[in-house]
Chains A and B, each alone.
Chain A
Amino acid sequence: MAHRDDIALMAHLMRRAGFGASRDELEARVARGYDATVEELLHPEAQPPVDPYTLLRYQPSALLPGGVPPMGNVNYMYYLVTTQRPLEEKMALFWHHVFATGNSKVDNYDQLLEQIDLFRQQGMGNYRDLLMTVAKNPSMIFWLDNNQNHGTEVNENWGRELLELFSLGAGNYTEVDVREASRAFTGWTFGTKIPRLPYGRFPWKFEYRPEDHDEGEKTFLGHTGNFNGEDIIDIVVEQPACARFICRHLYNFYVADEPQVPAWSLQPPRDPAAIDMLAETFRANKCEMRPVLRALFSSDFFKGARYKHLKSPAEVVVGTLRLMGGYEVPRPGCGELSMQPSYMGQDLLNPPSVEGWHTGQEWINSGSLMSRINFVAEQVGNTNLPGVQAIVRRLQAMGVLEPEQMVDSCLDLLGPVEVGPDTKKVLTEQAKQWGQIRWDTPAQIEASTKQTGELLQLIVATREYQFA
C-alpha cells in the first residue's frame, strides 16, 4: 500500500496539474513515481485525445453552438470532464485565463472553442509561437479590435493589451511603445465577418492586408526599424519582464494565489525566488513552456504549497464531476451542469473582460459560496454515483470504524483533505452521533452508506475544502 505522504503529494500534483484524481488512479501513479507522473503529464500525446464524436452523438447541436450558451459551455465542459490529458486541458484553461477572450463581444462560441483548441495544441509548446498564433486568432483580433487597426487610423486596443496583459505587465513599456506596437500590427485582420443569418456562421480566417499596413519606421522598446507584428513579438519575448510576467501567471495559477494582475506592478511576488527560478528556466529554454512546467512541478515551493490556492469555479465543478464519475457521456441535464461554474462566478468562454477573472479570495461572495457548497454537496451526497460508491467500498473494506476513524478515512479518501483541529472536532461530533460504523448486515450497509454521504457533504462544506 502506498505511503500516505506519497498519496497526499500525488493528489496535490493531480489537483493542480489536472482536475484531481480518484484514489485508484493516485495509487497507480504513486507506484509509477512522482517524476514519472510529471513526465507523463508533460507529454499528453501518449494518451488518447477527447473523442468529440461521443459528444456529437449525444448532443448533435454542440457541433455548431453558435452564439448561444449553454451549447458552447457543454462542448467545453465535455472536454474538461473527459480528458485523459489533464495537464494539456489545465494549460488550455490557464491560457484562457491569460488571453481572456469573451463571448459577450465575440458572440461566436465556435470561434472561441477553436481558440481553446489552439491552447490545447500549443499550450505546452513555445510561448513565442503561441503568442504569434494568438495574434492571428480571429476571435482575439475581433475581441481587441485589431480589425479596426488601420494603416491610416491606429486602434491601440490589441497593441496595449499585448503588452499590459499578455506579455510584459504594466510599468514595463511606455505609451509610445503601445502606439508603435499597434502600428506594427496594422493590416492584421480576418476574413469578412459574415452575418450569421440566413446561412449560419462562417469560420473566420486570419488575413494580412499589406495595403492596410503602416510601412513607416517604428521605434519600439529601444529598437528601430520598419517593424511588422512578428518583429514586435520577437522583441517582446526577449524582455526580462516577459519571462517574469508569464512565470508569475504560472505561479498564481499552479502554486499559490497572488494579488490580482493589475496590482503586480505595485506588489512584489509572494515568493520572489520562485519567480526568479522559473523566469530563468523560461529564458534559458527560449520560451519553451515544458521545461518551465517541469521545473515548477518538481520544485520544493510547489510541493510545499498544498491547499494554498483557492479553487476556481472550473476546478470545483470539473474536479467534482471527474471524482464522482458518471458524467463520461453528455446526458440530459449536461447543459445545466456546464453552466455551474457561471453560477459560481466563472462563466467559461466568457470572462468578464480582457483582464480575465479575478482569482483567489475574489471568487467568494455570499451567493457564490452557497452555489459551490450546494453543488458539491449534492454530488457527494448522491450515493448512487460511482465515485461515492468507490469511497464506500474502501470504507467497507476497512471493517468496523470508530467515529474518529470514519472522519479520518473520509477526509483521506476525498483528498486527502487537510483540516484544522476545530473543523476536525465538529466533523467528529457529526460522526459520533452514529457510533461505530458497521457493515455486517444489509441494513447496516444501507445506513453506513447514507452516513458516508452525509459526512462527505459536511466535509465539502468546510472552508478547507474550498482550497486546492
Chain B
Amino acid sequence: MAAIEKDPVLVVVQLSGGNDYLNTVIPYNNGLYRDNRKAVSIGDNQIVHLDQTYGFPSYLAPMKQFWDQGKLAIMHGVGYLDSPRSHFRSMDIWHTCEADKVGTEGWLGRVVREFDPRKENVVTAVSFGPCLFRALSVPGVPVACVAGPLETYGFLPSIRDKAQRQAVLDRFSRMYTPIPGSGVMEYLGTTGLDSLKGADILKVAPGRYKSDLKYPDTSIARKLKGIAQVHFADLGTRVFYCDHGSFDTHAGQNPLHASLWSDLNKGLEVFMADLQAHDRSDNVIVLIFSEFGRRVRDNGSGTDHGAAGVTFVLGEKVKGGHYGEMPSLDAAKLVQGDLNPNMDFRGIYSTILDKWMHLDPVPIVNGNYEQPGFLN
C-alpha cells in the first residue's frame, strides 16, 4: 500500500456570513484597534500572542497549536477590488471568480471537470451542506451533496426495511434511465442516476471507518467527520466542501463569534488528529475562507459588513506563517470604513491549483494572480 501515491485533496470550510477579521487575527498593539472596537474588542488577557504584532482570541487556541507547529498559513487583507458588501454577491464572486458579471461556473466545479472530464467518478467532489454551493456548480458536472448524516444519505431514507428499500431503489434507477434527446427528462434522468450512484458509493464510508477519536456533537464537527470517513474510504474524492456559520455578527458579536470559532476549532482539532492517526494527513490541505471581513468600527454590539478579510490554509505540507500584511486601520486608508483589500483571493486559489492540485490556474480563476507562497 505504501507505494501508492496519494492524490492531493482539498477541504474547503466556508465561513458564511462574513467572519470578523480584526477579532480573529488581532493587531493587539495597534491603538486604532481599541479605538474602533469599544464594544466588541477582545481583552488583552484573552489574547494568545502569535508574535509581536498579532494574536488570536483565546477561543482560537487549537489554531494557535497549528500555528506553533508551522502548519497554518494566515493570508492577510484578502478580498478583491470594489467589494460589494452583499453576502450573496460577494459569496458568488468567491465561488465563480467573476467579479463583474454573474458567473455560471464555480471554480471547484471546473476543478472536478479537469480531474474527471468523462464523469467516471460522481464523488470526485463531495459537499456537506444544505445545498449545492455555487463554487461546485458547473452544468453537467456531478457533485454529491450530503445534506444530513452520511449514514442515511441517499434516496428514500424513510424506507427503513433494507431489502425493501433496495428493491425500490432498483426500480428508481430503471425509472430514471436517460433517453437521449428528451431534454429536461434526460437531464433529470442523468442527475437522478448520478445521485443514486453517488449515494451508493458513499454509503460504504461509515462502515469502513474506525477511529479512537471522538468528534464533538456539533454541526461542523459532524461534517468534518463525514469528510474524514469519505477520505479514508479511498473513493477518489479530491474536493470536499462544507459550510459553517452564520458569522453575520451585526449584534451580540462576542459570545457568538466565540462559540462559532470554538466549534470549528474543536472540530478541526479532532479532524486533523484523525487524519494523522490514519496516516492520511500529508495529502490534505484545508482552506478556510469567508466572503468578507467586517467593518473596522463596531456598531455598539456587533459589526457590519466590511471588505478585506482573513483566509487560512492549514495542513502538514503548508508553510506556516503570515502572508501579505493587514491593511492599514488608518481612517484615511479605509474604504467606506472598511479595510482595503491588498491580496486577491484568486491568488490563493491559484497557489492551491498550481502547487497542490497541479492544474493550470488561469482558466479556472479567470486570469493571472500573484500567488502567495504557502505551498512548495
Q: Do A and B bind each other?
A: yes
Residues 380-432 of A contacting B (Cβ, < 8 Å) = 381, 422-423, 426-427, 429-430
With a cutoff of 8 Å between Cβ atoms, the chain A residues found around residue B144 in the complex are: 366-367
Stretch at the interface among B30-38, B173-181, B319-327: B173-181
Known: A343-B147, A367-B147. A104 touches B88 (CB 8 A): yes
- Contact A458–B191 (Cβ < 8 Å): no
- Contact B189–A463 (Cβ < 8 Å): yes
With a cutoff of 8 Å between Cβ atoms, the chain B residues found around residue A198 in the complex are: 301
Does B4 belong to the interface (CB within 8 Å)? no
- Contact A365–B145 (Cβ < 8 Å): yes
Does B137 belong to the interface (CB within 8 Å)? yes
A360-373 vs B, Cβ < 8 Å mask (1 yes, 0 no): 11001111111101
Return B203 CB to nearest CB of chain A, in Å.
13
Does B188 belong to the interface (CB within 8 Å)? yes
With a cutoff of 8 Å between Cβ atoms, the chain A residues found around residue B131 in the complex are: 342-343, 345, 367-368
Our pick among B87, B142, B143, B158 for the contact of A378 (Cβ within 8 Å) is B158
- Contact B184–A361 (Cβ < 8 Å): yes
Count of chain B residues with a beta carbon within 8 Å of a chain A beta carbon? 49
Known: A345-B131, A366-B132, A368-B132. A423 touches B175 (CB 8 A): yes
A179-199 vs B, Cβ < 8 Å mask (1 yes, 0 no): 000000000000000011110
A462 to B192, CA, bound (A): 10
Known: A105-B88, A371-B147. A461 touches B172 (CB 8 A): yes
Return B173 CB to nearest CB of chain A, in Å.
10
Does A230 belong to the interface (CB within 8 Å)? no
Does A125 belong to the interface (CB within 8 Å)? no
With a cutoff of 8 Å between Cβ atoms, the chain A residues found around residue B157 in the complex are: 374
Return B144 CB to nearest CB of chain A, in Å.
6
Q: Which residue of B lies closest to A457 (CB)?
A: B156
- Contact B168–A430 (Cβ < 8 Å): yes
Count of chain A residues with a beta carbon within 8 Å of a chain B beta carbon? 45
Known: A364-B187, A364-B188, A422-B175. A370 touches B132 (CB 8 A): no
Residues 163-205 of B contacting A (Cβ, < 8 Å) = 164, 167-168, 171-172, 174-177, 184-185, 187-189, 191-192, 194-195, 198-199
- Contact A370–B195 (Cβ < 8 Å): yes
Our pick among B137, B174, B199 for the contact of A365 (Cβ within 8 Å) is B137
With a cutoff of 8 Å between Cβ atoms, the chain A residues found around residue B143 in the complex are: 365-367
Q: Which residue of A lies closest to B157 (CB)?
A: A374
Does A352 belong to the interface (CB within 8 Å)? yes
Does B218 belong to the interface (CB within 8 Å)? no
Does A466 belong to the interface (CB within 8 Å)? yes
- Contact B155–A373 (Cβ < 8 Å): yes
Does A165 belong to the interface (CB within 8 Å)? no
Does B251 belong to the interface (CB within 8 Å)? yes
Return B177 CB to nearest CB of chain A, in Å.
7
Q: Which residue of A lies closest to B130 (CB)?
A: A343
Q: Which of A355, A422, A426 has the most CB of B within 10 A?
A: A426
- Contact B147–A366 (Cβ < 8 Å): no
Closest A-B pairs by Cβ, 7 of them: A367-B145, A366-B195, A104-B87, A378-B158, A104-B88, A463-B188, A365-B132
Residues of B within 8 A of A (CB): 86-89, 92, 102, 122, 127, 130-132, 137, 142-147, 154-159, 164, 167-168, 171-172, 174-177, 184-185, 187-189, 191-192, 194-195, 198-199, 250-251, 299-301
Please name 17 pairs of A and B residues whose Cβ atoms are closer than 8 Å in the assembled complex, sorted by A: A104-B88, A198-B301, A355-B102, A361-B187, A365-B132, A365-B143, A369-B192, A370-B145, A374-B155, A377-B158, A427-B171, A430-B167, A457-B158, A457-B168, A461-B156, A461-B175, A466-B188
